[in-house]
Amino acid sequence: MTARRPYNVLFVCTGNSARSIMAECIINREGMGNFKGFSAGSHPREEVHPMAIDLLKSNNYKVEDLAPKDWESFTKPGAPELDFVFTMCDSAANEVCPVFPGQPISAHWGMPDPASVQGTEAERRFAFADTFRMITQRVGIFVNLPLRSLDRLSLQKRMDEIGRGEGADASAEAP
């Protein structure tokens, strides 16, 4: 039996400077080689948000190669074949997404944008930490699903449940 390549997962946000970048890092660690995370934006910013970088560094994630990318780069020849695409912000979910080759399963995992929080530095850092926590929880549930034993419809249902914050016990099922 041949080993399957890792599942390729794309996280999409408008600016690709905070949530989707954090999700890319988290799945690359939590997926333990079974998942390869990517991130992109419909209108990528010039740089990753400094508070996202600080938070990732403080949690021992590699940040050297992180940069916002345009989602169109994942539709071109030579791009990774995507298995899953998750939109993470409402504006990206409401935009017309490009057609990604291979018909990946997609779902909306919307959550507040920590980069838009106004307030003290402590309040802004708390917003980033809270978003990081939510992403970590969702990714943890996702990477522990018995993906190979679920049909496409069941898998789509699970992806949608995770996006709504449901299914926290889904990872307890035997693979």
Enumerate the active-site residues: 13, 89, 97
Backbone phi and psi for residue 16, each to the nearest 5 degrees, phi listed first: 50, 45
57-60: long-range contacts at Cβ-Cβ below 8 A with a sequence spacing of 24 or more?
59/132
73, two tokens: 């780069």
Instruction: For 90-155, give the DSSP string.
Output: HHHHHS-PPPPTT--EEEE-----GGG--S-HHHHHHHHHHHHHHHHHHHHHHHTS-GGGS-HHHH
* R_g of the chain, CA atoms, integer Å: 16
Yes or no: say if 11 and 24 are a contact pair by the CB < 8 Å rule: yes
Residue 10 forms beta bridges with which residues? Answer: 38, 85
Give the pairing type, strands 84-87 and 105-108.
parallel
